[in-house]
Chain A
Amino acid sequence: MFSRLLSVARRQRTGRGWQNWSSGRSGAPAAEAHSVALPAQAQVVICGGGIMGTSVAYHLSKMGWKDIVLLEQGRLAAGSTRFCAGILSTARHLTIEQKMADYSNKLYQQLEQETGIQTGYIRTGSIFLAQTQDRLISLKRINSRLNVIGIPSEIISPKKVAELHPLLNVHDLVGAMHVPEDAVVSSADVALALASAASQNGVQIYDRTSVLHVMVKKGQVTGVETDKGQIECQYFVNCAGQWAYELGLSNEEPVSIPLHACEHFYLLTRPLETPLQSNTPTVVDADGRIYIRNWQGGILSGGFEKNPKPIFTEGKNQLEIQNLQEDWDHFEPLLSSLLRRMPELETLEIMKLVNCPETFTPDMRCIMGESPAVQGYYVLVGMNSAGLSFAGGAGRYLAEWMVHGYPSESIWELDLKRFGALQSSRTFLRHRVMEVMPLLYDLKVPRWDFQTGRQLRTSPLYDRLDAQGARWMEKHGFERPKYFVPPDKDLLALEQSKTFYKPDWFDIVESEVKCCKEAVCVIDMSSFTKFEITSTGDQALEILQYLFSNDLDVPVGHIVHTGMLNEGGGYENDCSIARLSKRSFFMISPTDQQVHCWAWLKKHMPEDSNLLLEDVTWKYTALNLIGPRAVDVLSELSYAPMTPDHFPSLFCKYALHVYNEVMSVGQKYGIRNAGYYALRSLRIEKFFAFWGQDLNTLTTPLECGRESRVKLDKGMDFIGRDALLQQKQNGVYKRLTMFILDDHDTDLDLWPWWGEPIYRNGQYAGKTTSSAYSYTLERHVCLGFVHNFSEDTGEEQVVTADFINRGEYEIDIAGHRFQAKAKLYPVTSLFTHKRRKDDVELSDLHGK
Chain B
Amino acid sequence: MSSTLPFWILNSARNSIATLQGGRRLYSRCASNRNKSRWRLFSQGPGALKSSAPCSGFALQKAYRHTSTEEDDFHLQLSPEQVNEVLRAGESAHKILDLVSGAPNSVLRFESNQLAANSPVEDRRGVASCLQTSGLMFGIFDGHGGHACAQAVSERLFYYVAVSLMSQQTLERMEGAMESMKPLMPILQWLKHPGDSIYKDVTSVHLDHLRVYWQELLDLHMEMGLNIKEALMYSFQRLDSDISLEVQAPLEDEMTRNLSLQVAFSGATACMAHVDGVHLHVANAGDCRAILGVQEDNGMWSCLPLTRDHNAWNQAELSRLKREHPESEDRTVIVDNRLLGVLMPCRAFGDVQLKWSKELQRSVLERGFDTEALNIYQFTPPHYHTPPYLTAEPEVTYHRLRPQDKFLVLASDGLWDVLDNEDVVRLVVEHLAEASRHKPDLAQRPANLGLMQSLLQQRRAQGLRAADQNAATRLIRHAIGSNEYGEMEPERLTAMLTLPEDLARMYRDDITVTVVYFNSDSIDAYYKGG
Contact = CB atoms under 8 A, between A and B. Distances in A.
Interface stretch (B120-128, B134-142, B442-450): B442-450
B69 A335 contact: no
Given A332-B453, A339-B453, A350 B448 contact: yes
Nearest to B442: A328
A349 B456 contact: no
B225 to A, nearest CB: 41
Interface stretch (A6-14, A340-348, A574-582): A340-348
B460 interface: yes
Nearest to A346: B450
Contact of B460 (A267, A332, A348, A469): A332
Interface string A471-508: 00000000000000000000001000000000000000
B68 interface: yes
A466 B68 contact: yes
Interface string A518-547: 000000000000000000000000000000
Interface in A316-337: 328-329, 331-332, 335-336
A350 B447 contact: yes
Interface in B426-476: 442, 445-450, 452-453, 456-457, 459-460, 463
A40 interface: no
Contacts of A349: 447-448
Interface string A454-477: 000000000000111110000000
A468 B69 CA distance: 8
B327 interface: no
A355 interface: no
B438 to A, nearest CB: 14
A701 to B, nearest CB: 42
B136 to A, nearest CB: 28
B72 A493 contact: yes
Given A328-B442, A329-B459, A332-B457, A350 B69 contact: no
A269 interface: yes
A335 B453 contact: yes
Nearest to B445: A350
Interface in B41-100: 68-69, 72
A683 to B, nearest CB: 27
A335 B445 CA distance: 15
A338 interface: yes
A339 B450 contact: yes
Contact of A469 (B69, B442, B456): B69
Interface in A117-144: none
Contacts of A328: 442, 452, 456
Q: Which of A269, A328, A467 has the most CB of B within 10 A?
A: A328
A566 B460 CA distance: 59
A328 B442 CA distance: 8
A468 B447 CA distance: 60
A361 B459 CA distance: 33
B456 A332 contact: yes
A566 B68 CA distance: 45
Interface string A348-362: 111000000000000
Interface residues of A, number: 22
B448 A348 contact: yes
B448 A347 contact: yes
Contacts of B456: 328-329, 331-332, 335
A329 B453 contact: no
A785 to B, nearest CB: 39
Contacts of A339: 449-450, 453
A464 B457 CA distance: 49
> Contact residue range for chain B?
10 to 19
Contacts of B463: 329
Contacts of B442: 328
B452 A269 contact: no
B69 A348 contact: no
B449 A348 contact: yes
Contacts of A269: 449
Given A346-B448, A349-B447, A350-B452, A329 B460 contact: yes
Contacts of B448: 346-350
Nearest to A470: B69
Q: Which of B445, B452, B463 has the most CB of A within 10 A?
A: B452
A45 B445 CA distance: 46
Given A466-B68, A466-B69, A467-B69, A338 B460 contact: no
B303 to A, nearest CB: 36
Contacts of B69: 466-470
Contacts of B450: 339, 345-347
B82 to A, nearest CB: 13
A330 B72 CA distance: 30
A467 B69 CA distance: 6
Q: Which of B449, B450, B457, B459 has the most CB of A within 10 A?
A: B449
A503 to B, nearest CB: 18
A388 B448 CA distance: 30
Nearest to B67: A466
A331 B69 CA distance: 38
Nearest to A335: B453
Contacts of A329: 456, 459-460, 463
Contacts of B68: 466
B183 to A, nearest CB: 28
A466 B69 CA distance: 7
A675 to B, nearest CB: 14
B447 A336 contact: no
Nearest to A332: B456
Nearest to B452: A350
Contact of A338 (B446, B449, B457, B459): B449
A444 to B, nearest CB: 23
A348 B450 CA distance: 8
Contacts of A348: 448-449
Contacts of B446: 350
Interface in B261-289: none
A335 B452 contact: yes
Q: Which of A269, A332, A467, A468 has the most CB of B within 10 A?
A: A332
A132 B338 CA distance: 67
B450 to A, nearest CB: 3
Nearest to B460: A332
Contact of B449 (A350, A467, A468): A350
B449 A335 contact: yes
Interface in B94-153: none
A728 B221 CA distance: 101
Interface in A343-386: 345-350
Contacts of B72: 493
A25 B442 CA distance: 52
A669 to B, nearest CB: 25
A706 B47 CA distance: 74
A493 B120 CA distance: 34
A328 B447 CA distance: 13
B72 to A, nearest CB: 7
Nearest to A484: B69
Interface string B385-418: 0000000000000000000000000000000000
A346 B457 contact: no
A345 B447 CA distance: 12
A94 to B, nearest CB: 31
Nearest to B81: A307
26 contacts: A328-B442, A328-B452, A329-B459, A329-B463, A331-B456, A332-B457, A332-B459, A332-B460, A335-B452, A335-B456, A336-B453, A338-B449, A339-B449, A339-B450, A339-B453, A346-B448, A346-B450, A346-B453, A347-B449, A348-B448, A349-B447, A349-B448, A350-B445, A350-B446, A350-B449, A466-B69
Given A335-B449, A335-B453, A350-B448, 19 more contacts: A267-B449, A269-B449, A332-B459, A335-B456, A338-B449, A339-B449, A339-B453, A345-B450, A346-B448, A346-B450, A347-B448, A347-B450, A348-B449, A349-B447, A350-B446, A350-B449, A466-B68, A469-B69, A493-B72
A-B residue pairs, 5 tightest by C-beta: A346-B450, A332-B456, A347-B448, A348-B449, A335-B453
